[in-house]
Structure 1
Amino acid sequence: MPFLSLANLPNLKFLLADENNIVMEPNSFHTSIPKFQLNVFSLSKCTTDKGLSLQPPKFLYYQYDLGYVDLSYNYFSETVPLWLLENNTKLENLFLLGNSFTGPLLLPQLPNPKVSVIDISKNKLQGQIPTNICSTFPNLEWLLLSKNAFEGNIPPCLSGMDTLSFLDLSDNHLSGRLPEELIMGSSLDILRLSNNNLSGKIVPMMFNTSKLSNLYLDGNNFTGEIPDIDVSASDLSYSSLEDIDLSNNSFNGKLPRWIGNVPHLKRLALSNNHFEGSIPMELCNLYKLEFLELSQNNLSGSIPSCFNPPYLRHVHVKRNRLSGPLTLVFSSSALVTLDLRGNNLTGNIPKRIGTFSALSVLLLKDNHLNGEIPVQLCKLYSLSIIDLSGNMFSGPIPSCLGNLTLAMQEEKSRMDDYFYIANRIQHLLVPIDIWFDLSHVFPSSSMKEWIEFTTKSVSYSYGGDILKYMSGIDLSCNRLTGQIPVELGNLSEIRSLNLSHNNLVGVIPSSFSQLKQIESLDLSYNNLSGRIPIQLVELNFLEVFSVAHNNLSGSTPEPKAQFGTFDESSYEGNPLLCGPPLQNNCSKTDSPTTVPTTADDEGEGSFMDTYVFCVSFLVSYVIVLLVIFVVLYINPYWRQAWFSFIESCITTCRYSVVGNFLELYIFKRCV
């Protein structure tokens, strides 16, 4: 961008140059002083090349009336431009996130009471957070320093800032204890301290605040129990908390019951701790709850039957020790995600699951569920991910599953209303409202939906925009029987299909060639027979394919396109299969198309051999008799000898029979 061409515009006040291409400034521009004095300068997202070593435009050295500066996502290097703060005493909003600034954060010596927003997130800053930050910016409202390498303690002075409403120090190396005053005695609305090395215990009174609405302490080293408090003595009805995230710590003991008395709570995340015991009944009071994350604890018992928040959208209680039947107490028509994997749930899937019209993700893997897969699942047209693997489901696969669209519904973010703010530039001659995209600073991502799903033989986590494009069905490791429904070939948007380790029979449907988006197809360890459809070579996105350990026969698909990348393990355990990459050569092994002909030939040959043998034997027998008759007729001597031999044999047989009869008669009389 040639800023030199703008140098002679004395009335220029606003310069918005976002998403352009940055070019190196000519040396002449370093010494020339522009005639304009800007009030607003925005130069964000102007380079995607991290290899460039760029610096902020030098003409900013000569700007003294700036009220708004945005230099985000340009990979500017070296240190934070201290001169930008020193020269512009009217500066209110400074955005430097997404660059490559290094070294310690240096601040001006003189205070700047105008500054209200500072965002230097996603850089490479090191050292401690300056202790004079509160005195330098006494009217600071937003301070965002996340995703750097800051270390040390949280400056105590931040607890006394009356104007500070949004503090984000997440994803650093901060240590020490969490100052209670930072929550209880400040004006904070949003506090994000995720993914640091903070330690100590949490005092329940921290949650009894009328100002704080979003508290994120996940990914730290907090330990101990969260003790219960006397609800009657401490009125939590004044609490403004909507988000509580204490996940990924080392808390233990039972879930605190007082959480059920936080009236405005919408999102609760306590996953990956050491909580034990049952889910408290008090959670049934959370009428406004939308998001519940209790995964990877030691919770036992069952989900309380009264737990049925009407606005509940996401339920994650995976990898606990919950037991009992899958009663599906939820009746929220807004339910989008149900993740109960890795528990001890029993029984079948209730038919009323067909009433969850908004359900997009159903994860029931690794439980003890049985019965047939209900056809009511086919009514859930919003379903995109189904994981029923590792259970004891039996019966056929419902053919109506082929009617699912498997398209993730795009969910409107709860923070949409915050994505833009109005900044009034008070000192302009003509007041004007300017709207800027500030979606990157708000905490909607702090409770982002993450879904684990096994595809391509690997367990992946999907979240954010990627989740919108993921779709799959996993019915593996069950006791399913019958044939694979041809209708599954209608799932044109599916990315992963796993039917392995069942008792399926029949052929592989040729309709699977219509699964144009599929990346992983696993049909191994069944009793499938017949040929592998040659049409499957049309699947251009297929990365993992397995039909191992079945009863398939014939030749393997032609090794072209994606099928040229599959090795012998994709086909092993099928003795009648031949062709590459197997060792069996189809030229030495009869193909299935020639087997019936060979069998017919063998049957016909066997019949002919028997017929010839019988005719030959009969003819030979007749010839022998005729020869004997002719010889006896012609030669009288041989005729007389033959008749004497016959008479002698008859006499011998007669006397032998009579003698044996007399011996038997005498023996019976003696007895």
Structure 2
Amino acid sequence: MLYKLYNLTINAGLKGELKLKKLQLLTLAQNQLTEIPSLGALLSLNYLNLASNYLKNLSDFNKLTTLRSLQILVFRNNQIRGNLPPSIGTFTSLKSLSLANNELNGPLPEEGFCGLRNIEELDLYSNSFDGSIPLCFSNLTSLKFLDLSSNRLTGTIPTTLFYRLSSLEHVSLSDNHFEGSFSFSSVANNSKLQFFELHCNNRMLNIDTENPPWTPLFQLNFLRISNCELNEPSRVMPSFILTQGNLRLLELSNNSITGRIPTWLLKNNSGLQFLSLGGNFFTGSFVMNSDHWFGNLYWFDVSMNEIYGELPPLMGFIFSNLVYLRLSENAFQGTIPPSMGDMRNLYYLDLSNNNFSGELPVNLIMGCISLRFLKLSNNAFEGNLFKSEWNLTNLHHLFMDNNLFSGKLSDGIMNSSQLEILSLKSNLISGKIPDWIGNLSSLEYLVLAENSLHGSIPLSFSGLQQLKLLYLSGNYLHQIPPGVNLSSLAYLHLADNELDGPLPSFISRLSSLISLDVRYNKLSGRIPSWLSSLTNLRTLLLKGNSLHSPIPAELCQLKNTSILDLSFNNLSGKIPLCLCSMPFGEKKPLPIDGTFSSNIFGWSMPRIVAYEYVGLFGVLDYPMATHVSISVSENVQFLTKSRYEDFSYSILYFISGIDLSHNKFIGPIPPCIGYLSDIHSLNLSHNYFDGSIPKTLSMLKEIESMDLSYNRLTGEIPSELIALNFLSVFSVAYNNLSGRTPAMVGQFATFEKQSYEGNEFLCGMPLPDCGTKNTKLPELYDEGTNDSFIVEFQWSFLGSYIVAFLSVVAYLYCSPYHSMLLYEFFTTRFRTCVSPFRRR
């Protein structure tokens, strides 16, 4: 130690002035302090730790200004807000200052920091400092550790910042808002530099590593440059990396770098442990041979590039100690090399979105016993799933969707008893859903959609008490046992199946349900009143069934619903007024988020920190000990802006709408619909609504799509609608509207005649001018769009004609006197007509 230490740890009850004049080290961390204690008498104090308390401001910072001998000051992990007082510069002996993980804001005070001439460690990580980096930082010539990451700093990075900082070892400038350009040659002479990190938040910073030509005097252990504009416009790989042989961690992701995949990086850096090159434009094949072995590498990510060809046959030997392997979103092809089964330490494997084919090698499903995450989505893998050799006993998350797997599901997957996510969407799987799936009691997310499964949901699903999302759409399921009990289910998708009869009653017990999608089945009967018991329901999609009768008033009790789709049914009657009391569009927090997130394991990009005590800059080794998370979003399809779109729940939080189209609703449109001020989409088309368009619809200030076409609406289009500034789709076509169209201002200037056609007495731009006589008969309905209405009209007319004719016959039969008069009338008329012909 540098000093003879007198260590003291005290509790939150510290009061008054401490009088231990020889005290040099004082730790008050994690003592729930809400203000800085008075320590004026500790004139020999050189270490003060106030980390992890409840300090909220530095208004009493002057209590410390008498501690002239202070060398280490730690305020990390508090709740300090406001500006940093310039009096920080009075601590001229300070060597280490940590203010990380607070809420400090405002610019970095030059009169404060720039007075710290002896500072060696400056840690300002994770605050809200703004403005630019003070130029006087270049005068802090003793600086070894500088962390300004995760703030709101702006402007350019001064080119002179590093010229005089010859002692620098660690620099982190990530997650700010820098812009302009930065020449990496400015650090060329920092011979002690080992750690450099710069992740760009906004891609407004161009980093040039090539001009002017330079030769680095440093040997980096850690280099991270990501999400930046790197070497524009050439986008070449930084050439100085060729001179770096001590790299242990290298990340150059999301920089749009071009050129061949740099396999030389691995050959030049035998000690490399972490390599991330994802999100670039690297191309070429992945060529390795038996002479290559990278046993120290445990993190390898080249996803989202343009790499093609097959994986090396000895992949499992070359990268035998990998923990994390991500090759997704490239153009790899061929089969998975059987040697990958030798990667026994592999936790995370993502080969999705490539052109891989063939069956899964037995070695893989038997040998990779540490796998917790396996993603093979969007390839052309084939064969039967879950063979008896399946031995991935630690697997938690399995994605095999959008492949060509076929046959029935076998129970080999039961060896993965800890499975939380199972996604087999869009394959060729057939047969019934097996009972044994109900034994995977840890499942939270089950996707078997778009296969050829038939039969019913097994009663054994009641064993899936952790299940939050069940996605079975696009199969041939026809029944759900009423006894199924899924108490935790939040998202249920059963669309595009063959369910018939009333809405399955087991749904009435799903008290946690947030989204229900049973579109395009054969459901019939009334909308059940028990839907009102689903108090958390946000999305109700009943489209494309044979439901009939009016909307039940109980449906209005769904006080959290934001999307309601009842279109393409046989519903009738008037819109219940209570529908206007439903909270469409009100942004309430979800009880269960639609994004499934889970920590996979404790490996990730590290944040390197310095020791907070003597030996100040013994930087912690690169432990990579945070977390990797995966997330799965729950999607809902809904008609808006005249097209169906998939919305994840992160978007659905901001989207709301009502679709009652293609039914048999009658009566006027309730004016109270206009009170749903937050709604984004309203579709009432293809019904029998009559009366005028309510002026209150102009109150729908968030509306983007409004379709009132194919009804029997009359009167004028309210001119007040031109105030709808976000309206991008509007149609009142094929009604009986009259008068002028709304003025072509704002959004209404974008609507063409298709929005208004089929209204005989409607005129004005974009229709013919009102001074021009329009003799064309209105086309009330497009051909084929309302055949059922035309047929009903024809049968009604024929029936009326027959009834009238029979009524006349019956009357004449019952009245001989009038029958005789009618006979004489027709006889006289007949003789008058034929007499001229007889005379000829």
C-alpha separation in 2, matches of 1:563 and 1:58: 56
SS in 2 for 1:86: helix
* Residues 537, 561 of structure 1: 8 Å contact kept: yes
Instruction: Map 1:415-454 to 2 at 5 A.
Output: 415=597, 417=599, 421=603, 429-431=618-620, 442-445=629-632, 448-454=633-639
Pair 1:192–1:417, CA change in 2 (3 A):
closer
Pair 1:400–1:72, CA change in 2 (3 A):
farther
Give the C-alpha shift of residue 398 in structure 1.
2.8
* Residues 337, 361 of structure 2: 8 Å contact kept: no
Which is further off, 391-400 or 205-214? 205-214
Pair 1:396-2:579 in alignment: no
Residue aligning to 2:303: 121
Pair 1:358–1:306, CA change in 2 (3 A):
same
Higher relative contact order (Cα pairs below 8 Å, separated by 6+ residues): 1
C-alpha separation in 2, matches of 1:385 and 1:118: 42
Pair 1:586–1:260, CA change in 2 (3 A):
farther
Q: Which deviations, in whole Å up to 9, do the C-alpha atoms of 1:322-347 show, x marking residues without a partner?
A: 11211442333332211100001122
Residue aligning to 2:692: 507
C-alpha separation in 1, matches of 2:397 and 2:432: 23
Instruction: Map 1:38-117 to 2 at 5 A.
Output: 38-47=220-229, 52-107=233-288, 109-117=291-299
Pair 1:133-2:327 in alignment: no
Higher Cα Rg: structure 1 or 2? 1
Residue identity opposite 1:10 in structure 2: S
Residue aligning to 2:737: 552
Match of 1:307 among 478, 481, 484: 484
Pair 1:48–1:292, CA change in 2 (3 A):
farther
C-alpha separation in 2, matches of 1:76 and 1:377: 55
Match of 2:656 among 468, 471, 482: 471
Pair 1:457–1:48, CA change in 2 (3 A):
farther
Residue aligning to 1:336: 514
Residue aligning to 1:189: 372
C-alpha separation in 2, matches of 1:160 and 1:569: 64
Residue identity opposite 1:191 in structure 2: L
* Residues 572, 664 of structure 2: 8 Å contact kept: yes
Give the C-alpha shift of residue 113 in structure 1.
1.5
* Residues 52, 75 of structure 1: 8 Å contact kept: no
C-alpha separation in 1, matches of 2:597 and 2:764: 56
Give the C-alpha shift of residue 465 in structure 1.
4.2
C-alpha separation in 1, matches of 2:269 and 2:415: 44
Give the C-alpha shift of residue 499 in structure 1.
0.5
Question: In percent, how many aligned pairs have the same letter?
Answer: 41
Which is further off, 511-520 or 428-437? 428-437
Q: Which deviations, in whole Å up to 9, do the C-alpha atoms of 1:384-414 show, x marking residues without a partner?
A: 2211101122222233333414256563743
SS in 2 for 1:329: helix
Match of 1:380 among 558, 563, 566: 558
Pair 1:325-2:502 in alignment: yes
Residue aligning to 2:353: 171
Give the C-alpha shift of residue 56 in structure 1.
2.8
* Residues 250, 274 of structure 2: 8 Å contact kept: yes
Pair 1:26–1:97, CA change in 2 (3 A):
closer
Pair 1:406-2:585 in alignment: yes
Give the C-alpha shift of residue 416 in structure 1.
5.7
C-alpha separation in 1, matches of 2:327 and 2:770: 64
C-alpha separation in 1, matches of 2:712 and 2:266: 73
Match of 2:711 among 513, 516, 526: 526
Q: Which deviations, in whole Å up to 9, do the C-alpha atoms of 1:304-361 show, x marking residues without a partner?
A: 2122312211111100101121144233333221110000112222223223232221
Residue aligning to 1:6: 187
* Residues 267, 292 of structure 1: 8 Å contact kept: yes
Residue aligning to 2:768: 583
Match of 2:476 among 289, 298, 302: 298
C-alpha separation in 2, matches of 1:48 and 1:61: 17
Pair 1:581–1:438, CA change in 2 (3 A):
farther
Pair 1:419–1:313, CA change in 2 (3 A):
farther
C-alpha separation in 2, matches of 1:416 and 1:215: 13
Match of 2:409 among 226, 240, 243: 226
Residue identity opposite 1:63 in structure 2: Q
Match of 1:22 among 203, 206, 214: 206
Residue aligning to 1:634: none
Residue identity opposite 1:314 in structure 2: Y
Pair 1:74–1:238, CA change in 2 (3 A):
closer
Give the C-alpha shift of residue 455 in structure 1.
2.5
* Residues 423, 434 of structure 1: 8 Å contact kept: no
Q: 5+ residue gaps in structure 2? A: 1-181, 611-616, 775-840
Residue identity opposite 1:25 in structure 2: T
C-alpha separation in 2, matches of 1:119 and 1:36: 26
TM norm structure 2 = 0.64
C-alpha separation in 2, matches of 1:48 and 1:556: 54
* Residues 464, 486 of structure 2: 8 Å contact kept: yes
Give the C-alpha shift of residue 215 in structure 1.
1.6
C-alpha separation in 2, matches of 1:573 and 1:384: 32
What's the RMSD between the two structures over aligned residues? 2.9
* Residues 500, 524 of structure 2: 8 Å contact kept: yes
C-alpha separation in 2, matches of 1:137 and 1:208: 21
C-alpha separation in 1, matches of 2:737 and 2:230: 51
Residue aligning to 1:146: 328
Q: Which deviations, in whole Å up to 9, do the C-alpha atoms of 1:68-110 show, x marking residues without a partner?
A: 2111111101012223222222221111111000011234843
Residue aligning to 2:531: 353
Residue aligning to 1:367: 545
* Residues 390, 413 of structure 2: 8 Å contact kept: no
* Residues 184, 206 of structure 1: 8 Å contact kept: yes
SS in 2 for 1:488: helix
Pair 1:59–1:128, CA change in 2 (3 A):
same
Which is further off, 323-332 or 532-541? 323-332
Give the C-alpha shift of residue 165 in structure 1.
1.4
Q: Which deviations, in whole Å up to 9, do the C-alpha atoms of 1:474-523 show, x marking residues without a partner?
A: 11111222221222212233221100111222221111112222221111
Residue aligning to 1:663: none
Match of 1:280 among 434, 455, 458: 458
SS in 2 for 1:513: helix
Which is further off, 349-358 or 1-10? 349-358
Greater per-residue helix proportion? 1
C-alpha separation in 2, matches of 1:166 and 1:237: 18
Residue aligning to 1:214: 397
Instruction: Map 1:457-468 to 2 at 5 A.
Output: 457-463=642-648, 465-468=650-653
SS in 1 for 2:381: strand
Which is further off, 322-331 or 550-559? 322-331
Pair 1:576–1:323, CA change in 2 (3 A):
same
Instruction: Map 1:569-648 to 2 at 5 A.
Output: 569-583=754-768, 585-586=770-771
Which is further off, 549-558 or 376-385? 376-385
C-alpha separation in 2, matches of 1:208 and 1:156: 15
SS in 2 for 1:65: coil
* Residues 170, 196 of structure 1: 8 Å contact kept: yes
C-alpha separation in 2, matches of 1:387 and 1:241: 34
C-alpha separation in 1, matches of 2:678 and 2:389: 47
Give the C-alpha shift of residue 167 in structure 1.
0.9
Give the C-alpha shift of residue 454 in structure 1.
2.0
